[in-house]
Chain A
Amino acid sequence: MSEFVIPGQSPVSLDLHKCMRKTRGGKIKIAAGSKSGLAIKLTIFILLGLTVYGLLTFDYKNIDLAKAINGTWSNLKVLFGQPRLTYSSFAAAMRALLVTFSLGALSTIFGALIALFGALLCAKNIANPIAANVIKGFVAFIRAVPTILWVLIFTVAAGLGSVAAVIGLTFHSAGYLIKAYAESIEETDGGAIEALKASGASFWQIVSQAILPASISYMIAWTFLRFEINFTNALAVGAAAGAGGIGFDLWMAGSFYFDIRELGYITYIVVAAVILLETIATKIKARVR
Protein backbone atom coordinates (compact mmCIF):
# COMPACT_ATOMS: atom_id res chain seq x y z
CA MET A 1 0.00 0.00 0.00
CA SER A 2 1.52 3.27 -1.06
CA GLU A 3 0.41 6.64 0.12
CA PHE A 4 0.73 9.95 -1.58
CA VAL A 5 0.79 13.00 0.66
CA ILE A 6 0.06 16.47 -0.55
CA PRO A 7 1.38 18.99 1.99
CA GLY A 8 -1.39 20.39 4.13
CA GLN A 9 -3.95 17.73 3.13
CA SER A 10 -4.85 14.27 4.31
CA PRO A 11 -2.95 11.40 2.58
CA VAL A 12 -4.46 9.96 -0.59
CA SER A 13 -4.44 6.22 -1.02
CA LEU A 14 -2.94 5.04 -4.30
CA ASP A 15 -3.77 1.40 -3.95
CA LEU A 16 -4.18 0.47 -7.62
CA HIS A 17 -4.83 -3.15 -6.77
CA LYS A 18 -8.25 -2.17 -5.52
CA CYS A 19 -9.21 -0.84 -8.95
CA MET A 20 -7.88 -3.79 -10.95
CA ARG A 21 -9.91 -6.76 -11.91
CA LYS A 22 -8.04 -10.02 -11.84
CA THR A 23 -8.60 -13.51 -13.06
CA ARG A 24 -8.60 -16.33 -10.55
CA GLY A 25 -4.98 -17.07 -11.40
CA GLY A 26 -3.97 -13.56 -10.40
CA LYS A 27 -3.48 -12.11 -13.91
CA ILE A 28 -4.74 -8.59 -14.44
CA LYS A 29 -7.69 -8.38 -16.83
CA ILE A 30 -6.90 -6.02 -19.69
CA ALA A 31 -10.43 -5.22 -20.82
CA ALA A 32 -13.00 -4.11 -18.32
CA GLY A 33 -16.45 -5.63 -18.74
CA SER A 34 -18.96 -3.14 -20.08
CA LYS A 35 -22.60 -2.96 -21.03
CA SER A 36 -21.79 -2.96 -24.75
CA GLY A 37 -19.45 -5.94 -24.39
CA LEU A 38 -22.20 -7.85 -22.63
CA ALA A 39 -24.73 -6.91 -25.33
CA ILE A 40 -22.37 -8.09 -28.07
CA LYS A 41 -21.75 -11.40 -26.30
CA LEU A 42 -25.46 -11.90 -25.72
CA THR A 43 -26.33 -11.09 -29.35
CA ILE A 44 -23.70 -13.47 -30.71
CA PHE A 45 -24.78 -16.18 -28.29
CA ILE A 46 -28.45 -15.87 -29.31
CA LEU A 47 -27.65 -15.77 -33.03
CA LEU A 48 -25.41 -18.85 -32.77
CA GLY A 49 -28.08 -20.62 -30.75
CA LEU A 50 -30.75 -19.85 -33.37
CA THR A 51 -28.39 -21.02 -36.12
CA VAL A 52 -27.66 -24.37 -34.45
CA TYR A 53 -31.34 -24.85 -33.63
CA GLY A 54 -32.32 -24.01 -37.22
CA LEU A 55 -29.72 -26.25 -38.83
CA LEU A 56 -30.77 -29.16 -36.61
CA THR A 57 -34.52 -28.78 -37.12
CA PHE A 58 -34.87 -27.83 -40.81
CA ASP A 59 -36.92 -30.22 -42.92
CA TYR A 60 -34.28 -31.46 -45.36
CA LYS A 61 -36.69 -33.99 -46.97
CA ASN A 62 -34.00 -36.74 -46.79
CA ILE A 63 -31.87 -35.11 -49.46
CA ASP A 64 -28.69 -36.93 -50.51
CA LEU A 65 -26.31 -34.11 -49.71
CA ALA A 66 -23.16 -35.63 -51.25
CA LYS A 67 -24.97 -36.35 -54.52
CA ALA A 68 -26.53 -32.89 -54.63
CA ILE A 69 -23.22 -31.15 -53.98
CA ASN A 70 -21.44 -33.25 -56.62
CA GLY A 71 -24.23 -32.52 -59.09
CA THR A 72 -24.05 -28.80 -58.36
CA TRP A 73 -20.27 -28.84 -58.75
CA SER A 74 -20.46 -30.43 -62.20
CA ASN A 75 -23.31 -28.07 -63.16
CA LEU A 76 -21.18 -25.16 -61.98
CA LYS A 77 -18.34 -26.30 -64.26
CA VAL A 78 -20.71 -26.49 -67.23
CA LEU A 79 -22.30 -23.14 -66.31
CA PHE A 80 -19.06 -21.17 -66.28
CA GLY A 81 -17.00 -23.42 -68.54
CA GLN A 82 -19.23 -23.95 -71.58
CA PRO A 83 -21.55 -20.96 -72.00
CA ARG A 84 -23.56 -21.17 -75.23
CA LEU A 85 -26.80 -19.67 -76.50
CA THR A 86 -29.31 -22.10 -78.02
CA TYR A 87 -32.75 -20.59 -77.63
CA SER A 88 -31.80 -16.94 -77.74
CA SER A 89 -29.38 -14.76 -79.68
CA PHE A 90 -26.80 -12.26 -78.49
CA ALA A 91 -28.87 -9.37 -79.91
CA ALA A 92 -32.01 -10.60 -78.14
CA ALA A 93 -30.08 -10.95 -74.88
CA MET A 94 -28.79 -7.37 -75.25
CA ARG A 95 -32.32 -6.12 -75.86
CA ALA A 96 -33.50 -7.99 -72.75
CA LEU A 97 -30.60 -6.45 -70.81
CA LEU A 98 -31.71 -3.00 -71.97
CA VAL A 99 -35.24 -3.74 -70.74
CA THR A 100 -33.98 -4.77 -67.30
CA PHE A 101 -31.71 -1.72 -67.19
CA SER A 102 -34.67 0.49 -68.14
CA LEU A 103 -36.94 -1.05 -65.50
CA GLY A 104 -34.25 -0.26 -62.94
CA ALA A 105 -33.77 3.29 -64.30
CA LEU A 106 -37.50 4.11 -64.38
CA SER A 107 -38.11 2.91 -60.86
CA THR A 108 -35.04 4.78 -59.61
CA ILE A 109 -36.18 8.04 -61.26
CA PHE A 110 -39.73 7.75 -59.90
CA GLY A 111 -38.43 6.65 -56.51
CA ALA A 112 -35.98 9.56 -56.34
CA LEU A 113 -38.68 12.11 -57.29
CA ILE A 114 -41.09 10.82 -54.65
CA ALA A 115 -38.28 10.53 -52.12
CA LEU A 116 -37.17 14.13 -52.63
CA PHE A 117 -40.55 15.47 -51.49
CA GLY A 118 -41.04 12.72 -48.92
CA ALA A 119 -37.66 13.47 -47.35
CA LEU A 120 -38.44 17.20 -47.12
CA LEU A 121 -41.60 16.26 -45.25
CA CYS A 122 -39.84 14.01 -42.75
CA ALA A 123 -36.33 15.40 -42.16
CA LYS A 124 -36.17 16.31 -38.47
CA ASN A 125 -34.60 19.76 -38.95
CA ILE A 126 -37.18 21.26 -41.31
CA ALA A 127 -40.37 19.24 -41.00
CA ASN A 128 -43.33 19.29 -38.68
CA PRO A 129 -42.50 16.58 -36.10
CA ILE A 130 -45.95 14.96 -36.12
CA ALA A 131 -46.13 14.74 -39.92
CA ALA A 132 -42.52 13.47 -39.93
CA ASN A 133 -43.31 10.61 -37.56
CA VAL A 134 -46.44 9.61 -39.48
CA ILE A 135 -44.51 9.53 -42.77
CA LYS A 136 -41.57 7.66 -41.24
CA GLY A 137 -43.90 4.98 -39.91
CA PHE A 138 -45.63 4.65 -43.28
CA VAL A 139 -42.27 4.40 -45.06
CA ALA A 140 -41.06 1.73 -42.62
CA PHE A 141 -44.15 -0.28 -43.53
CA ILE A 142 -43.51 0.10 -47.28
CA ARG A 143 -39.88 -0.95 -46.86
CA ALA A 144 -40.83 -4.01 -44.84
CA VAL A 145 -42.83 -5.55 -47.70
CA PRO A 146 -40.43 -7.44 -50.00
CA THR A 147 -40.17 -5.93 -53.51
CA ILE A 148 -41.33 -9.11 -55.20
CA LEU A 149 -44.60 -9.00 -53.26
CA TRP A 150 -45.23 -5.39 -54.36
CA VAL A 151 -44.70 -6.43 -57.96
CA LEU A 152 -46.96 -9.48 -57.69
CA ILE A 153 -49.67 -7.38 -56.01
CA PHE A 154 -49.51 -4.76 -58.76
CA THR A 155 -49.47 -7.45 -61.43
CA VAL A 156 -52.98 -8.43 -60.38
CA ALA A 157 -54.14 -4.84 -60.04
CA ALA A 158 -52.49 -3.31 -63.11
CA GLY A 159 -51.97 -6.30 -65.37
CA LEU A 160 -48.78 -8.07 -66.39
CA GLY A 161 -46.17 -5.86 -67.97
CA SER A 162 -43.70 -3.10 -67.34
CA VAL A 163 -46.19 -0.95 -65.41
CA ALA A 164 -46.59 -3.48 -62.60
CA ALA A 165 -42.84 -4.08 -62.42
CA VAL A 166 -41.93 -0.40 -62.38
CA ILE A 167 -44.55 0.58 -59.80
CA GLY A 168 -43.72 -2.41 -57.62
CA LEU A 169 -40.00 -1.57 -57.73
CA THR A 170 -40.76 2.14 -57.18
CA PHE A 171 -42.51 1.48 -53.87
CA HIS A 172 -39.46 -0.03 -52.29
CA SER A 173 -37.04 2.46 -53.89
CA ALA A 174 -39.06 5.42 -52.63
CA GLY A 175 -39.17 3.97 -49.13
CA TYR A 176 -35.43 3.35 -49.12
CA LEU A 177 -34.50 6.72 -50.64
CA ILE A 178 -36.81 8.73 -48.35
CA LYS A 179 -34.91 7.33 -45.38
CA ALA A 180 -31.51 7.94 -47.01
CA TYR A 181 -32.34 11.47 -48.26
CA ALA A 182 -33.88 12.47 -44.92
CA GLU A 183 -30.68 11.42 -43.17
CA SER A 184 -28.60 13.49 -45.64
CA ILE A 185 -30.86 16.51 -45.11
CA GLU A 186 -30.64 16.15 -41.34
CA GLU A 187 -26.88 16.55 -41.61
CA THR A 188 -27.26 20.03 -43.18
CA ASP A 189 -25.71 22.83 -41.10
CA GLY A 190 -28.49 24.27 -38.92
CA GLY A 191 -26.87 27.73 -39.02
CA ALA A 192 -27.41 28.17 -42.75
CA ILE A 193 -31.11 27.32 -42.44
CA GLU A 194 -31.50 29.67 -39.49
CA ALA A 195 -29.72 32.51 -41.29
CA LEU A 196 -31.97 32.16 -44.33
CA LYS A 197 -35.07 31.99 -42.13
CA ALA A 198 -33.98 35.18 -40.33
CA SER A 199 -33.54 37.00 -43.63
CA GLY A 200 -37.12 36.09 -44.54
CA ALA A 201 -36.49 33.37 -47.10
CA SER A 202 -39.44 31.16 -48.05
CA PHE A 203 -39.48 27.38 -47.49
CA TRP A 204 -38.53 26.65 -51.11
CA GLN A 205 -35.74 29.23 -51.04
CA ILE A 206 -34.32 27.53 -47.94
CA VAL A 207 -34.60 24.15 -49.67
CA SER A 208 -32.95 25.26 -52.91
CA GLN A 209 -30.24 27.52 -51.41
CA ALA A 210 -29.26 25.78 -48.17
CA ILE A 211 -30.47 22.20 -48.06
CA LEU A 212 -30.00 20.93 -51.60
CA PRO A 213 -26.49 22.35 -52.17
CA ALA A 214 -25.32 20.83 -48.89
CA SER A 215 -26.82 17.38 -49.32
CA ILE A 216 -26.99 16.86 -53.09
CA SER A 217 -23.74 14.88 -53.30
CA TYR A 218 -24.90 12.38 -50.67
CA MET A 219 -28.25 12.16 -52.42
CA ILE A 220 -26.63 11.38 -55.76
CA ALA A 221 -24.43 8.73 -54.18
CA TRP A 222 -27.47 7.11 -52.52
CA THR A 223 -29.44 7.27 -55.77
CA PHE A 224 -26.72 5.42 -57.69
CA LEU A 225 -26.46 2.82 -54.96
CA ARG A 226 -30.20 2.35 -55.25
CA PHE A 227 -29.94 2.09 -59.02
CA GLU A 228 -27.54 -0.84 -58.63
CA ILE A 229 -29.97 -2.48 -56.20
CA ASN A 230 -32.90 -1.80 -58.55
CA PHE A 231 -31.05 -3.41 -61.43
CA THR A 232 -30.64 -6.68 -59.49
CA ASN A 233 -34.21 -6.35 -58.22
CA ALA A 234 -35.45 -5.92 -61.79
CA LEU A 235 -33.60 -9.12 -62.67
CA ALA A 236 -35.21 -10.98 -59.78
CA VAL A 237 -38.64 -9.59 -60.54
CA GLY A 238 -38.26 -10.62 -64.18
CA ALA A 239 -37.50 -14.17 -63.05
CA ALA A 240 -40.05 -14.56 -60.28
CA ALA A 241 -42.94 -12.45 -61.55
CA GLY A 242 -42.48 -12.84 -65.32
CA ALA A 243 -41.96 -9.11 -65.72
CA GLY A 244 -39.68 -9.52 -68.75
CA GLY A 245 -36.09 -8.49 -69.30
CA ILE A 246 -33.00 -10.61 -68.92
CA GLY A 247 -34.18 -11.95 -65.56
CA PHE A 248 -37.01 -13.69 -67.37
CA ASP A 249 -34.50 -15.16 -69.84
CA LEU A 250 -32.48 -16.49 -66.90
CA TRP A 251 -35.56 -18.17 -65.49
CA MET A 252 -36.58 -19.59 -68.90
CA ALA A 253 -33.08 -20.99 -69.52
CA GLY A 254 -32.87 -22.59 -66.07
CA SER A 255 -36.38 -23.68 -65.16
CA PHE A 256 -38.09 -24.08 -68.51
CA TYR A 257 -35.47 -25.27 -71.04
CA PHE A 258 -33.21 -26.77 -68.31
CA ASP A 259 -30.24 -25.55 -70.38
CA ILE A 260 -27.28 -24.85 -68.10
CA ARG A 261 -25.09 -23.61 -70.96
CA GLU A 262 -27.63 -20.95 -71.91
CA LEU A 263 -27.98 -20.05 -68.23
CA GLY A 264 -24.20 -19.67 -68.10
CA TYR A 265 -24.07 -17.37 -71.12
CA ILE A 266 -26.77 -15.10 -69.73
CA THR A 267 -25.10 -15.14 -66.31
CA TYR A 268 -21.88 -13.86 -67.88
CA ILE A 269 -23.80 -11.01 -69.54
CA VAL A 270 -25.53 -10.13 -66.27
CA VAL A 271 -22.33 -10.24 -64.22
CA ALA A 272 -20.55 -8.04 -66.77
CA ALA A 273 -23.42 -5.54 -66.62
CA VAL A 274 -23.42 -5.50 -62.81
CA ILE A 275 -19.65 -4.95 -62.67
CA LEU A 276 -19.91 -2.17 -65.26
CA LEU A 277 -22.65 -0.43 -63.23
CA GLU A 278 -20.60 -0.74 -60.05
CA THR A 279 -17.57 0.80 -61.76
CA ILE A 280 -19.60 3.70 -63.16
CA ALA A 281 -21.26 4.29 -59.79
CA THR A 282 -17.89 4.34 -58.02
CA LYS A 283 -16.51 6.82 -60.58
CA ILE A 284 -19.53 9.12 -60.21
CA LYS A 285 -19.39 8.93 -56.41
CA ALA A 286 -15.70 9.86 -56.52
CA ARG A 287 -16.39 12.84 -58.78
CA VAL A 288 -19.32 14.10 -56.74
CA ARG A 289 -17.42 14.11 -53.44
Chain B
Amino acid sequence: MLGKNQTFVNQTPLNQTSVFVKRKRTFTLVFLGTLALFLIAAAATNYDVIGGFESIPKAIGWLAKNFVPNAKAWSRLPDILTKLAETALVSVAVTVCAALGAFFFSLLSARTTKVNRWIGRGVRIIAAFLRNVPDIVWAILLMFSFGQNILTGFFALFFATLGMLTRTFIETIDEVSVACVEALQATGATYLQTVFQGVIPSSLPEIVSWVLYMIETNIRSSTLIGVLTATGVGAMFDLYYKRMDYSAASLVVISIVVLVIAIEIISNQIRKVIM
Protein backbone atom coordinates (compact mmCIF):
# COMPACT_ATOMS: atom_id res chain seq x y z
CA MET B 1 0.00 0.00 0.00
CA LEU B 2 2.75 2.38 1.04
CA GLY B 3 4.78 1.55 -2.04
CA LYS B 4 1.84 2.22 -4.28
CA ASN B 5 1.34 5.62 -2.69
CA GLN B 6 4.97 6.55 -3.15
CA THR B 7 4.95 5.71 -6.84
CA PHE B 8 1.84 7.87 -7.10
CA VAL B 9 3.70 10.83 -5.55
CA ASN B 10 6.69 10.33 -7.78
CA GLN B 11 4.58 10.29 -10.89
CA THR B 12 4.52 14.08 -11.31
CA PRO B 13 4.95 14.73 -15.03
CA LEU B 14 8.45 15.92 -15.81
CA ASN B 15 7.43 18.75 -18.10
CA GLN B 16 5.23 20.31 -15.39
CA THR B 17 7.32 22.27 -12.88
CA SER B 18 6.02 22.31 -9.33
CA VAL B 19 4.00 25.23 -8.01
CA PHE B 20 6.80 26.17 -5.62
CA VAL B 21 9.49 26.39 -8.30
CA LYS B 22 7.17 28.46 -10.46
CA ARG B 23 6.36 30.76 -7.56
CA LYS B 24 10.02 31.23 -6.76
CA ARG B 25 10.80 32.02 -10.39
CA THR B 26 8.02 34.65 -10.59
CA PHE B 27 9.19 36.18 -7.33
CA THR B 28 12.80 36.40 -8.55
CA LEU B 29 11.67 37.99 -11.83
CA VAL B 30 9.52 40.59 -10.07
CA PHE B 31 12.34 41.33 -7.62
CA LEU B 32 14.97 41.77 -10.36
CA GLY B 33 12.61 43.90 -12.47
CA THR B 34 11.87 46.19 -9.53
CA LEU B 35 15.56 46.47 -8.68
CA ALA B 36 16.43 47.42 -12.27
CA LEU B 37 13.63 50.00 -12.36
CA PHE B 38 14.83 51.38 -9.03
CA LEU B 39 18.44 51.73 -10.24
CA ILE B 40 17.42 53.43 -13.51
CA ALA B 41 15.05 55.78 -11.71
CA ALA B 42 17.60 56.65 -9.03
CA ALA B 43 20.20 57.39 -11.70
CA ALA B 44 17.81 59.54 -13.74
CA THR B 45 16.82 61.73 -10.80
CA ASN B 46 20.24 61.80 -9.07
CA TYR B 47 18.46 60.30 -6.11
CA ASP B 48 20.69 60.11 -3.07
CA VAL B 49 19.52 56.89 -1.38
CA ILE B 50 21.49 57.28 1.85
CA GLY B 51 20.81 61.00 2.03
CA GLY B 52 17.14 60.24 1.52
CA PHE B 53 17.01 57.92 4.50
CA GLU B 54 19.06 60.31 6.61
CA SER B 55 16.73 63.20 5.79
CA ILE B 56 13.68 61.50 7.31
CA PRO B 57 14.66 61.72 11.01
CA LYS B 58 16.05 65.20 10.33
CA ALA B 59 12.76 66.25 8.76
CA ILE B 60 10.72 64.78 11.60
CA GLY B 61 12.87 66.66 14.12
CA TRP B 62 12.37 69.86 12.15
CA LEU B 63 8.62 69.24 11.96
CA ALA B 64 8.34 68.66 15.70
CA LYS B 65 10.19 71.90 16.41
CA ASN B 66 8.76 74.30 13.83
CA PHE B 67 5.56 72.78 12.57
CA VAL B 68 3.49 73.35 15.70
CA PRO B 69 0.74 75.99 15.85
CA ASN B 70 1.52 78.74 18.37
CA ALA B 71 -0.69 81.47 19.82
CA LYS B 72 -0.13 83.78 16.85
CA ALA B 73 -1.13 81.00 14.46
CA TRP B 74 -4.32 80.30 16.40
CA SER B 75 -5.30 83.96 16.00
CA ARG B 76 -5.28 83.35 12.24
CA LEU B 77 -7.71 80.44 12.53
CA PRO B 78 -10.81 82.43 11.40
CA ASP B 79 -9.05 83.44 8.15
CA ILE B 80 -7.90 79.88 7.55
CA LEU B 81 -11.37 78.46 8.20
CA THR B 82 -12.95 80.95 5.76
CA LYS B 83 -10.56 79.84 3.02
CA LEU B 84 -11.03 76.19 3.96
CA ALA B 85 -14.80 76.56 3.65
CA GLU B 86 -14.28 78.17 0.24
CA THR B 87 -12.10 75.25 -0.92
CA ALA B 88 -14.59 72.71 0.41
CA LEU B 89 -17.52 74.47 -1.29
CA VAL B 90 -15.60 74.67 -4.58
CA SER B 91 -14.89 70.92 -4.43
CA VAL B 92 -18.54 70.11 -3.75
CA ALA B 93 -19.82 72.50 -6.43
CA VAL B 94 -17.31 71.23 -9.02
CA THR B 95 -18.11 67.60 -8.31
CA VAL B 96 -21.88 68.11 -8.41
CA CYS B 97 -21.79 70.16 -11.64
CA ALA B 98 -19.42 67.65 -13.26
CA ALA B 99 -21.63 64.76 -12.09
CA LEU B 100 -24.71 66.31 -13.72
CA GLY B 101 -22.80 66.72 -17.00
CA ALA B 102 -21.21 63.29 -16.70
CA PHE B 103 -24.57 61.62 -16.13
CA PHE B 104 -25.97 63.18 -19.28
CA PHE B 105 -22.88 62.15 -21.28
CA SER B 106 -22.87 58.64 -19.87
CA LEU B 107 -26.52 58.17 -20.90
CA LEU B 108 -25.47 59.05 -24.44
CA SER B 109 -22.66 56.53 -24.37
CA ALA B 110 -23.62 53.58 -22.14
CA ARG B 111 -24.41 50.39 -24.06
CA THR B 112 -27.91 50.10 -22.62
CA THR B 113 -29.08 53.66 -23.19
CA LYS B 114 -27.11 55.11 -26.09
CA VAL B 115 -29.01 56.85 -28.84
CA ASN B 116 -26.51 56.35 -31.58
CA ARG B 117 -23.29 54.41 -31.97
CA TRP B 118 -21.23 57.37 -33.19
CA ILE B 119 -22.36 59.74 -30.45
CA GLY B 120 -21.50 57.02 -27.93
CA ARG B 121 -18.02 56.58 -29.31
CA GLY B 122 -17.45 60.34 -29.55
CA VAL B 123 -18.40 60.82 -25.89
CA ARG B 124 -15.98 58.08 -24.84
CA ILE B 125 -13.11 59.69 -26.76
CA ILE B 126 -13.85 63.15 -25.33
CA ALA B 127 -14.04 61.69 -21.80
CA ALA B 128 -10.72 59.86 -22.26
CA PHE B 129 -9.14 63.09 -23.52
CA LEU B 130 -10.48 65.14 -20.58
CA ARG B 131 -9.30 62.50 -18.13
CA ASN B 132 -5.80 62.26 -19.50
CA VAL B 133 -4.97 65.96 -19.70
CA PRO B 134 -3.66 66.59 -16.16
CA ASP B 135 -5.58 69.16 -14.11
CA ILE B 136 -2.46 71.31 -13.74
CA VAL B 137 -2.42 71.84 -17.53
CA TRP B 138 -6.01 73.08 -17.35
CA ALA B 139 -5.06 75.31 -14.40
CA ILE B 140 -2.04 76.82 -16.19
CA LEU B 141 -4.05 77.35 -19.40
CA LEU B 142 -7.01 78.93 -17.61
CA MET B 143 -4.66 81.27 -15.73
CA PHE B 144 -4.05 83.13 -19.01
CA SER B 145 -7.63 84.37 -19.31
CA PHE B 146 -9.15 83.93 -15.87
CA GLY B 147 -6.15 85.10 -13.85
CA GLN B 148 -5.98 84.36 -10.14
CA ASN B 149 -9.69 83.75 -9.84
CA ILE B 150 -11.75 81.13 -8.07
CA LEU B 151 -13.12 80.10 -11.47
CA THR B 152 -9.64 79.05 -12.65
CA GLY B 153 -9.54 76.26 -10.09
CA PHE B 154 -13.23 75.57 -10.62
CA PHE B 155 -12.91 74.89 -14.34
CA ALA B 156 -9.56 73.09 -14.04
CA LEU B 157 -11.11 70.60 -11.62
CA PHE B 158 -14.35 70.55 -13.59
CA PHE B 159 -12.78 69.18 -16.79
CA ALA B 160 -10.73 66.51 -15.00
CA THR B 161 -13.72 65.45 -12.86
CA LEU B 162 -16.05 65.39 -15.86
CA GLY B 163 -13.74 63.00 -17.71
CA MET B 164 -13.29 60.73 -14.70
CA LEU B 165 -16.98 60.60 -13.72
CA THR B 166 -18.19 60.04 -17.29
CA ARG B 167 -16.11 56.87 -17.49
CA THR B 168 -17.24 55.55 -14.11
CA PHE B 169 -20.91 56.39 -14.76
CA ILE B 170 -20.81 54.59 -18.12
CA GLU B 171 -19.40 51.51 -16.36
CA THR B 172 -21.97 51.78 -13.57
CA ILE B 173 -24.94 52.09 -15.93
CA ASP B 174 -23.75 49.18 -18.06
CA GLU B 175 -23.17 47.04 -14.99
CA VAL B 176 -26.29 47.77 -12.99
CA SER B 177 -29.16 48.45 -15.31
CA VAL B 178 -28.98 45.99 -18.23
CA ALA B 179 -31.75 43.70 -16.94
CA CYS B 180 -34.19 46.39 -15.91
CA VAL B 181 -33.71 48.40 -19.11
CA GLU B 182 -34.42 45.29 -21.14
CA ALA B 183 -37.53 44.56 -19.07
CA LEU B 184 -38.81 48.11 -19.41
CA GLN B 185 -38.17 48.16 -23.16
CA ALA B 186 -40.06 44.88 -23.49
CA THR B 187 -43.11 46.48 -21.87
CA GLY B 188 -42.96 49.25 -24.44
CA ALA B 189 -41.62 52.04 -22.22
CA THR B 190 -40.34 55.16 -23.97
CA TYR B 191 -36.68 56.22 -23.76
CA LEU B 192 -37.32 58.78 -21.03
CA GLN B 193 -39.45 56.33 -19.05
CA THR B 194 -36.62 53.78 -19.25
CA VAL B 195 -34.14 56.35 -17.99
CA PHE B 196 -36.27 57.69 -15.15
CA GLN B 197 -37.81 54.41 -13.98
CA GLY B 198 -34.96 52.02 -14.74
CA VAL B 199 -31.52 53.56 -15.12
CA ILE B 200 -31.65 56.28 -12.49
CA PRO B 201 -33.12 54.26 -9.60
CA SER B 202 -30.85 51.28 -10.17
CA SER B 203 -27.58 53.19 -10.59
CA LEU B 204 -28.17 56.02 -8.11
CA PRO B 205 -26.50 54.42 -5.04
CA GLU B 206 -23.30 53.72 -7.02
CA ILE B 207 -23.36 57.20 -8.54
CA VAL B 208 -23.78 58.93 -5.18
CA SER B 209 -20.94 56.81 -3.80
CA TRP B 210 -18.65 57.90 -6.66
CA VAL B 211 -19.63 61.55 -6.22
CA LEU B 212 -18.70 61.38 -2.54
CA TYR B 213 -15.35 59.81 -3.45
CA MET B 214 -14.65 62.54 -6.02
CA ILE B 215 -15.47 65.27 -3.46
CA GLU B 216 -12.78 63.80 -1.19
CA THR B 217 -10.27 63.63 -4.05
CA ASN B 218 -11.12 67.13 -5.26
CA ILE B 219 -10.48 68.70 -1.86
CA ARG B 220 -6.90 67.41 -2.06
CA SER B 221 -6.51 68.42 -5.72
CA SER B 222 -7.99 71.85 -5.12
CA THR B 223 -5.35 72.45 -2.45
CA LEU B 224 -2.70 71.78 -5.08
CA ILE B 225 -4.41 73.90 -7.71
CA GLY B 226 -4.82 76.59 -5.09
CA VAL B 227 -1.03 76.70 -4.67
CA LEU B 228 -0.71 77.23 -8.46
CA THR B 229 -3.56 79.70 -8.94
CA ALA B 230 -3.36 81.54 -5.60
CA THR B 231 -6.90 80.74 -4.47
CA GLY B 232 -8.44 78.96 -1.52
CA VAL B 233 -6.67 77.19 1.29
CA GLY B 234 -3.76 76.09 -0.94
CA ALA B 235 -2.81 79.74 -1.44
CA MET B 236 -3.14 80.31 2.30
CA PHE B 237 -0.61 77.53 2.95
CA ASP B 238 1.69 78.81 0.20
CA LEU B 239 1.57 82.33 1.64
CA TYR B 240 2.53 81.29 5.17
CA TYR B 241 5.05 78.80 3.82
CA LYS B 242 6.85 81.42 1.71
CA ARG B 243 6.82 83.86 4.63
CA MET B 244 8.42 81.04 6.65
CA ASP B 245 5.57 81.33 9.14
CA TYR B 246 5.62 77.57 9.63
CA SER B 247 3.40 77.46 12.69
CA ALA B 248 0.55 79.14 10.78
CA ALA B 249 1.24 76.77 7.85
CA SER B 250 0.97 73.82 10.21
CA LEU B 251 -2.43 75.03 11.38
CA VAL B 252 -3.53 75.10 7.72
CA VAL B 253 -2.39 71.48 7.33
CA ILE B 254 -4.16 70.42 10.52
CA SER B 255 -7.42 72.05 9.46
CA ILE B 256 -7.22 70.36 6.03
CA VAL B 257 -6.63 67.01 7.71
CA VAL B 258 -9.61 67.49 10.02
CA LEU B 259 -11.83 68.43 7.06
CA VAL B 260 -10.71 65.51 4.87
CA ILE B 261 -11.11 62.95 7.67
CA ALA B 262 -14.52 64.37 8.59
CA ILE B 263 -15.68 64.09 4.98
CA GLU B 264 -14.27 60.55 4.75
CA ILE B 265 -16.17 59.48 7.89
CA ILE B 266 -19.43 61.11 6.72
CA SER B 267 -19.23 59.54 3.28
CA ASN B 268 -18.44 56.11 4.73
CA GLN B 269 -21.53 56.40 6.93
CA ILE B 270 -23.68 57.44 3.95
CA ARG B 271 -22.25 54.56 1.88
CA LYS B 272 -23.10 52.07 4.62
CA VAL B 273 -26.75 53.16 4.53
CA ILE B 274 -27.25 53.44 0.77
CA MET B 275 -25.30 50.51 -0.67
Q: Could you tell me which A residues sit within 8 Å of B by CB distance?
A: 30-31, 35-36, 39-40, 43-44, 47-48, 50-51, 53-55, 57-61, 63, 65, 67-72, 75-76, 79, 98-99, 101-103, 105-106, 109, 140-141, 143-149, 152-154, 156-159, 161-164, 166-167, 213, 232, 235-236, 239-240, 244, 247, 250-251, 253-255, 258, 260, 263, 267, 270-271, 274-275, 278
Contacts and interface: CB of A to CB of B under 8 A. Distances in A.
14 contacts: A47-B95, A54-B89, A58-B150, A63-B151, A72-B146, A144-B256, A146-B224, A152-B227, A154-B59, A156-B246, A157-B59, A162-B46, A166-B45, A263-B141
B52, B142, B201, B205 — which one has the most chain A CB atoms within 10 A of its CB?
B52
Contacts of A144: 256-257, 260-261, 264
Contact of B270 (A43, A103, A240): A43
Given A102-B40, A105-B37, A255-B140, 11 more contacts: A30-B197, A36-B275, A40-B205, A43-B274, A68-B146, A102-B47, A106-B45, A109-B41, A145-B257, A148-B227, A163-B48
Contacts of B129: 271
A240 B45 contact: no
Contact of A167 (B56, B151, B227): B56
Interface string B239-269: 0010000100000010011001100100000
Interface residues of B, number: 77
By DSSP majority rule, is chain A's interface helix, strand, loop, or mixed? helix
Contacts of B151: 60, 63, 65, 68
B133 interface: yes
Interface string B137-163: 100111111110111000100000000
B166 to A, nearest CB: 15
B37 A109 contact: yes
B45 A68 contact: no
Interface of B: 23, 34, 37-38, 40-42, 44-48, 51-52, 55-56, 58-59, 62-63, 67, 86, 89-90, 92-93, 95-97, 128-129, 132-137, 140-147, 149-151, 155, 197, 201, 204-205, 208, 211-212, 220-221, 223-224, 227-228, 234, 237-238, 241, 246, 253, 256-257, 260-261, 264, 270, 273-275
